[in-house]
Structure 1
Amino acid sequence: MKVDTFDEGLEHRNILPYDPAYSDVFAQVRRYVQENLESVELVHIGSTAIRGLRGKPMVDIAAITSREDLRAAQEEFERLGFHRRAVWVDKDEKPYVCGCIQHDGRRFNINIHICHRGDPVHKDSLAFMDILHRRPDLRRKYEEAKDHAHMIDPVNPEVYNREKEAVIKEIHAQIGLA
Protein backbone atom coordinates (compact mmCIF):
# COMPACT_ATOMS: atom_id res chain seq x y z
CA MET A 1 0.00 0.00 0.00
CA LYS A 2 1.30 3.44 -0.87
CA VAL A 3 0.40 6.40 1.31
CA ASP A 4 0.19 9.73 -0.51
CA THR A 5 -0.13 13.26 0.80
CA PHE A 6 -3.48 14.18 2.32
CA ASP A 7 -5.79 15.42 -0.47
CA GLU A 8 -6.79 19.00 0.29
CA GLY A 9 -9.27 19.09 -2.61
CA LEU A 10 -12.71 20.45 -1.90
CA GLU A 11 -14.40 17.22 -3.04
CA HIS A 12 -13.10 15.70 0.21
CA ARG A 13 -14.74 18.45 2.25
CA ASN A 14 -18.33 17.82 1.17
CA ILE A 15 -20.81 15.93 3.28
CA LEU A 16 -21.74 12.79 1.36
CA PRO A 17 -23.96 9.75 1.87
CA TYR A 18 -22.37 6.79 3.63
CA ASP A 19 -20.09 4.79 1.33
CA PRO A 20 -19.66 1.03 2.02
CA ALA A 21 -16.08 1.38 0.73
CA TYR A 22 -15.13 3.10 4.00
CA SER A 23 -14.97 -0.21 5.88
CA ASP A 24 -12.83 -1.72 3.09
CA VAL A 25 -10.47 1.27 3.21
CA PHE A 26 -10.15 0.88 6.97
CA ALA A 27 -9.41 -2.85 6.56
CA GLN A 28 -6.73 -2.04 3.96
CA VAL A 29 -5.02 0.45 6.31
CA ARG A 30 -5.31 -1.94 9.26
CA ARG A 31 -3.63 -4.78 7.31
CA TYR A 32 -0.83 -2.45 6.20
CA VAL A 33 -0.18 -1.16 9.72
CA GLN A 34 -0.38 -4.61 11.33
CA GLU A 35 2.15 -5.95 8.83
CA ASN A 36 4.59 -3.15 9.68
CA LEU A 37 4.07 -2.09 13.31
CA GLU A 38 3.95 -4.14 16.47
CA SER A 39 1.64 -3.48 19.38
CA VAL A 40 -0.73 -1.08 17.62
CA GLU A 41 -4.45 -1.73 17.45
CA LEU A 42 -6.51 0.23 14.94
CA VAL A 43 -10.18 1.07 15.49
CA HIS A 44 -12.37 2.68 12.83
CA ILE A 45 -13.99 5.74 14.43
CA GLY A 46 -15.95 8.77 13.26
CA SER A 47 -18.76 9.17 10.77
CA THR A 48 -17.35 6.78 8.19
CA ALA A 49 -17.52 3.98 10.79
CA ILE A 50 -21.28 4.37 11.23
CA ARG A 51 -23.25 2.65 8.49
CA GLY A 52 -25.83 5.02 7.04
CA LEU A 53 -24.41 8.22 8.54
CA ARG A 54 -23.65 11.01 6.11
CA GLY A 55 -20.29 12.70 6.53
CA LYS A 56 -17.09 13.93 5.01
CA PRO A 57 -15.29 11.14 3.14
CA MET A 58 -12.35 10.88 5.53
CA VAL A 59 -11.65 7.62 7.30
CA ASP A 60 -10.84 8.39 10.94
CA ILE A 61 -8.87 5.82 12.88
CA ALA A 62 -7.82 5.55 16.51
CA ALA A 63 -4.39 3.93 16.76
CA ILE A 64 -4.13 2.47 20.23
CA THR A 65 -0.54 1.94 21.27
CA SER A 66 1.16 0.56 24.33
CA ARG A 67 4.14 2.87 23.75
CA GLU A 68 4.54 5.36 26.55
CA ASP A 69 5.79 8.08 24.19
CA LEU A 70 2.97 8.88 21.76
CA ARG A 71 5.25 11.07 19.63
CA ALA A 72 7.53 8.05 19.11
CA ALA A 73 4.49 6.11 17.91
CA GLN A 74 3.71 9.02 15.57
CA GLU A 75 7.21 8.71 14.10
CA GLU A 76 6.56 5.03 13.41
CA PHE A 77 3.51 5.97 11.35
CA GLU A 78 5.56 8.57 9.51
CA ARG A 79 8.02 5.85 8.52
CA LEU A 80 5.06 4.05 6.91
CA GLY A 81 4.32 7.09 4.75
CA PHE A 82 1.74 8.92 6.85
CA HIS A 83 2.62 12.51 7.68
CA ARG A 84 2.04 15.24 10.20
CA ARG A 85 -0.13 18.13 9.21
CA ALA A 86 -0.07 21.46 11.01
CA VAL A 87 -3.59 21.22 12.42
CA TRP A 88 -5.10 21.95 15.80
CA VAL A 89 -5.69 18.25 16.61
CA ASP A 90 -1.98 17.34 16.62
CA LYS A 91 -1.03 17.74 20.28
CA ASP A 92 1.50 15.94 22.49
CA GLU A 93 -1.30 14.15 24.33
CA LYS A 94 -3.06 13.28 21.05
CA PRO A 95 -0.64 13.01 18.12
CA TYR A 96 -2.09 12.83 14.65
CA VAL A 97 -0.94 11.68 11.22
CA CYS A 98 -2.76 11.56 7.94
CA GLY A 99 -2.45 10.48 4.35
CA CYS A 100 -4.35 9.47 1.28
CA ILE A 101 -4.60 5.98 -0.24
CA GLN A 102 -6.00 4.46 -3.39
CA HIS A 103 -8.81 1.94 -3.12
CA ASP A 104 -10.65 0.56 -6.15
CA GLY A 105 -9.39 3.44 -8.29
CA ARG A 106 -10.53 6.15 -5.84
CA ARG A 107 -8.61 8.31 -3.38
CA PHE A 108 -9.52 8.25 0.32
CA ASN A 109 -8.13 10.53 3.02
CA ILE A 110 -7.05 8.84 6.24
CA ASN A 111 -6.78 10.52 9.67
CA ILE A 112 -5.01 8.55 12.41
CA HIS A 113 -5.35 9.73 16.01
CA ILE A 114 -2.70 8.07 18.18
CA CYS A 115 -3.71 7.30 21.76
CA HIS A 116 -3.52 4.93 24.71
CA ARG A 117 -6.30 2.46 25.50
CA GLY A 118 -9.08 4.10 27.48
CA ASP A 119 -8.06 7.70 26.84
CA PRO A 120 -10.78 10.07 25.55
CA VAL A 121 -9.95 9.58 21.83
CA HIS A 122 -10.50 5.86 22.28
CA LYS A 123 -13.20 5.60 24.97
CA ASP A 124 -15.34 8.62 24.02
CA SER A 125 -15.23 7.87 20.29
CA LEU A 126 -16.51 4.33 20.87
CA ALA A 127 -19.29 5.50 23.22
CA PHE A 128 -20.34 8.25 20.79
CA MET A 129 -20.43 5.82 17.86
CA ASP A 130 -22.39 3.29 19.90
CA ILE A 131 -25.13 5.78 20.78
CA LEU A 132 -25.39 6.95 17.16
CA HIS A 133 -25.74 3.31 16.05
CA ARG A 134 -28.55 2.73 18.54
CA ARG A 135 -30.39 6.06 18.35
CA PRO A 136 -31.54 7.20 14.88
CA ASP A 137 -32.91 10.42 16.43
CA LEU A 138 -29.44 11.39 17.69
CA ARG A 139 -27.86 10.32 14.40
CA ARG A 140 -30.23 12.71 12.56
CA LYS A 141 -29.48 15.48 15.05
CA TYR A 142 -25.74 14.97 14.52
CA GLU A 143 -26.17 15.01 10.73
CA GLU A 144 -28.10 18.29 11.01
CA ALA A 145 -25.26 19.76 13.09
CA LYS A 146 -22.78 18.64 10.43
CA ASP A 147 -24.87 20.23 7.68
CA HIS A 148 -25.08 23.48 9.65
CA ALA A 149 -21.33 23.47 10.37
CA HIS A 150 -20.59 22.81 6.70
CA MET A 151 -22.74 25.80 5.66
CA ILE A 152 -20.77 28.07 8.00
CA ASP A 153 -17.35 27.01 6.74
CA PRO A 154 -16.92 24.08 4.34
CA VAL A 155 -13.16 24.59 4.03
CA ASN A 156 -11.74 25.08 7.53
CA PRO A 157 -11.92 21.80 9.52
CA GLU A 158 -11.30 23.59 12.81
CA VAL A 159 -14.37 25.82 12.32
CA TYR A 160 -16.40 22.83 11.08
CA ASN A 161 -15.56 20.83 14.21
CA ARG A 162 -16.11 23.76 16.55
CA GLU A 163 -19.56 24.32 15.07
CA LYS A 164 -20.56 20.69 15.76
CA GLU A 165 -19.32 20.86 19.34
CA ALA A 166 -22.59 21.83 21.08
CA VAL A 167 -24.47 18.86 19.66
CA ILE A 168 -21.58 16.51 20.41
CA LYS A 169 -21.53 17.74 24.04
CA GLU A 170 -25.30 17.30 24.27
CA ILE A 171 -25.03 13.71 23.03
CA HIS A 172 -22.07 13.08 25.37
CA ALA A 173 -24.21 14.30 28.28
CA GLN A 174 -26.89 11.75 27.37
CA ILE A 175 -24.36 8.92 27.58
CA GLY A 176 -22.59 10.20 30.68
CA LEU A 177 -19.42 11.62 29.09
CA ALA A 178 -20.06 15.27 29.91
Structure 2
Amino acid sequence: MDWTFLLSYDNVDHALDCFYKRLYSVLESHVPKKHHNSGELSFPIWFTHEIKQNIKTKSYYRKKWLATKNQYYLHEFKRLRTLIKEQISRAHSGYVDRMQNSIKSDVSMLWRYIDQKRGSSRIPGILYHNDSVLDNPQDIVNSFAQLFSETYITDDAVPQTSHFT
Protein backbone atom coordinates (compact mmCIF):
# COMPACT_ATOMS: atom_id res chain seq x y z
CA MET A 1 0.00 0.00 0.00
CA ASP A 2 1.35 3.39 -0.95
CA TRP A 3 0.99 5.83 1.95
CA THR A 4 2.66 8.84 0.30
CA PHE A 5 -0.74 10.48 -0.25
CA LEU A 6 -0.69 11.34 3.48
CA LEU A 7 2.13 13.82 2.82
CA SER A 8 -0.28 16.04 0.88
CA TYR A 9 -2.27 16.91 4.03
CA ASP A 10 -1.44 20.11 5.89
CA ASN A 11 -3.54 19.14 8.91
CA VAL A 12 -2.36 16.17 10.96
CA ASP A 13 -5.89 15.36 12.15
CA HIS A 14 -7.17 15.10 8.56
CA ALA A 15 -4.19 12.95 7.59
CA LEU A 16 -4.85 10.66 10.55
CA ASP A 17 -8.55 10.37 9.65
CA CYS A 18 -7.66 9.47 6.08
CA PHE A 19 -5.03 6.99 7.28
CA TYR A 20 -7.58 5.20 9.49
CA LYS A 21 -10.23 5.15 6.76
CA ARG A 22 -7.79 3.56 4.34
CA LEU A 23 -6.43 1.13 6.96
CA TYR A 24 -9.91 -0.03 8.02
CA SER A 25 -10.93 -0.40 4.39
CA VAL A 26 -7.95 -2.65 3.71
CA LEU A 27 -8.57 -4.67 6.87
CA GLU A 28 -12.26 -5.03 6.08
CA SER A 29 -11.62 -6.33 2.59
CA HIS A 30 -8.61 -8.58 3.26
CA VAL A 31 -8.78 -9.94 6.81
CA PRO A 32 -11.10 -12.91 7.29
CA LYS A 33 -13.77 -12.58 9.90
CA LYS A 34 -14.08 -15.23 12.56
CA HIS A 35 -17.47 -16.90 12.68
CA HIS A 36 -18.58 -18.64 15.84
CA ASN A 37 -19.97 -22.09 15.25
CA SER A 38 -23.00 -22.24 17.54
CA GLY A 39 -23.38 -25.98 16.93
CA GLU A 40 -20.00 -26.70 18.51
CA LEU A 41 -19.92 -27.87 22.12
CA SER A 42 -18.47 -25.52 24.67
CA PHE A 43 -16.22 -26.93 27.36
CA PRO A 44 -14.79 -25.59 30.61
CA ILE A 45 -11.42 -23.92 30.34
CA TRP A 46 -9.57 -26.79 32.05
CA PHE A 47 -10.70 -29.46 29.54
CA THR A 48 -7.76 -30.74 27.54
CA HIS A 49 -7.90 -31.64 23.86
CA GLU A 50 -7.76 -35.30 24.85
CA ILE A 51 -10.80 -34.96 27.14
CA LYS A 52 -12.78 -33.23 24.39
CA GLN A 53 -11.89 -35.95 21.89
CA ASN A 54 -12.84 -38.68 24.38
CA ILE A 55 -16.20 -37.02 25.03
CA LYS A 56 -16.94 -36.97 21.30
CA THR A 57 -15.87 -40.60 20.96
CA LYS A 58 -17.98 -41.58 23.98
CA SER A 59 -20.97 -39.90 22.36
CA TYR A 60 -20.34 -41.87 19.17
CA TYR A 61 -20.30 -45.19 21.05
CA ARG A 62 -23.43 -44.25 22.99
CA LYS A 63 -25.31 -43.52 19.77
CA LYS A 64 -24.10 -46.76 18.19
CA TRP A 65 -25.16 -48.76 21.26
CA LEU A 66 -28.61 -47.16 21.31
CA ALA A 67 -29.06 -47.91 17.62
CA THR A 68 -27.72 -51.49 17.60
CA LYS A 69 -27.78 -52.72 21.24
CA ASN A 70 -24.39 -54.31 20.48
CA GLN A 71 -22.59 -54.99 23.79
CA TYR A 72 -19.23 -53.93 22.34
CA TYR A 73 -20.50 -50.36 21.93
CA LEU A 74 -21.93 -50.37 25.46
CA HIS A 75 -18.61 -51.63 26.87
CA GLU A 76 -16.62 -48.92 25.03
CA PHE A 77 -19.10 -46.24 26.12
CA LYS A 78 -18.76 -47.25 29.80
CA ARG A 79 -14.97 -47.50 29.57
CA LEU A 80 -14.72 -44.01 28.09
CA ARG A 81 -17.18 -42.60 30.62
CA THR A 82 -14.99 -43.85 33.48
CA LEU A 83 -11.81 -42.62 31.80
CA ILE A 84 -13.30 -39.18 31.15
CA LYS A 85 -14.41 -38.79 34.77
CA GLU A 86 -10.84 -39.49 35.91
CA GLN A 87 -9.35 -37.14 33.29
CA ILE A 88 -11.74 -34.33 34.22
CA SER A 89 -10.98 -34.75 37.92
CA ARG A 90 -7.20 -34.58 37.31
CA ALA A 91 -7.49 -31.67 34.88
CA HIS A 92 -9.72 -29.67 37.23
CA SER A 93 -7.42 -30.26 40.22
CA GLY A 94 -4.44 -29.17 38.15
CA TYR A 95 -6.30 -26.07 36.96
CA VAL A 96 -7.27 -25.08 40.51
CA ASP A 97 -3.69 -25.64 41.71
CA ARG A 98 -2.31 -23.47 38.88
CA MET A 99 -4.86 -20.75 39.65
CA GLN A 100 -4.03 -20.79 43.37
CA ASN A 101 -0.32 -20.49 42.64
CA SER A 102 -0.78 -17.71 40.09
CA ILE A 103 -3.14 -15.78 42.38
CA LYS A 104 -0.31 -15.52 44.92
CA SER A 105 1.85 -13.63 42.44
CA ASP A 106 -0.85 -11.89 40.38
CA VAL A 107 -4.08 -10.86 42.13
CA SER A 108 -5.75 -10.13 38.78
CA MET A 109 -5.81 -13.90 38.26
CA LEU A 110 -8.30 -14.10 41.14
CA TRP A 111 -10.70 -11.90 39.20
CA ARG A 112 -10.19 -13.92 36.02
CA TYR A 113 -10.98 -17.07 37.97
CA ILE A 114 -14.10 -15.50 39.49
CA ASP A 115 -15.21 -14.19 36.08
CA GLN A 116 -14.70 -17.62 34.54
CA LYS A 117 -16.70 -19.30 37.32
CA ARG A 118 -19.50 -16.75 37.02
CA GLY A 119 -19.42 -16.51 33.27
CA SER A 120 -19.29 -12.73 33.55
CA SER A 121 -16.63 -10.08 33.86
CA ARG A 122 -18.59 -7.26 35.41
CA ILE A 123 -18.94 -5.98 38.95
CA PRO A 124 -22.07 -7.40 40.62
CA GLY A 125 -25.06 -5.06 40.58
CA ILE A 126 -25.86 -5.67 44.25
CA LEU A 127 -23.67 -6.91 47.10
CA TYR A 128 -24.96 -7.88 50.54
CA HIS A 129 -22.28 -7.19 53.16
CA ASN A 130 -22.47 -6.71 56.94
CA ASP A 131 -26.28 -6.47 57.00
CA SER A 132 -26.26 -3.76 54.34
CA VAL A 133 -27.04 -3.67 50.64
CA LEU A 134 -24.45 -2.09 48.36
CA ASP A 135 -25.66 -1.13 44.89
CA ASN A 136 -23.09 1.50 43.91
CA PRO A 137 -20.17 -0.04 41.94
CA GLN A 138 -17.61 2.10 43.77
CA ASP A 139 -18.99 1.00 47.17
CA ILE A 140 -18.87 -2.64 46.04
CA VAL A 141 -15.25 -2.33 44.87
CA ASN A 142 -14.28 -0.56 48.10
CA SER A 143 -15.96 -3.29 50.14
CA PHE A 144 -13.90 -5.95 48.34
CA ALA A 145 -10.73 -3.89 48.81
CA GLN A 146 -11.41 -3.56 52.53
CA LEU A 147 -12.09 -7.29 52.86
CA PHE A 148 -8.87 -8.22 51.07
CA SER A 149 -6.78 -5.71 53.02
CA GLU A 150 -8.10 -7.18 56.29
CA THR A 151 -7.74 -10.80 55.15
CA TYR A 152 -4.36 -10.89 53.40
CA ILE A 153 -1.05 -9.59 54.63
CA THR A 154 1.93 -8.75 52.49
CA ASP A 155 5.36 -10.27 52.99
CA ASP A 156 6.74 -7.00 54.36
CA ALA A 157 4.02 -6.97 57.05
CA VAL A 158 5.28 -10.25 58.52
CA PRO A 159 7.46 -9.51 61.56
CA GLN A 160 11.08 -10.52 61.13
CA THR A 161 12.67 -12.52 63.95
CA SER A 162 16.12 -11.60 65.05
CA HIS A 163 18.68 -14.25 65.69
CA PHE A 164 21.28 -13.82 68.39
CA THR A 165 24.54 -15.70 68.20
Please give the TM-score of this superposition, normalised by the length of structure 2.
Answer: 0.22
TM-score, normalisation: structure 1: 0.21
Which one has the bigger strand percentage? 1
Of Structure 1 and Structure 2, the greater helix share is in 2
- Determine which structure has more spread, i.e. the larger CA radius of gyration: 2
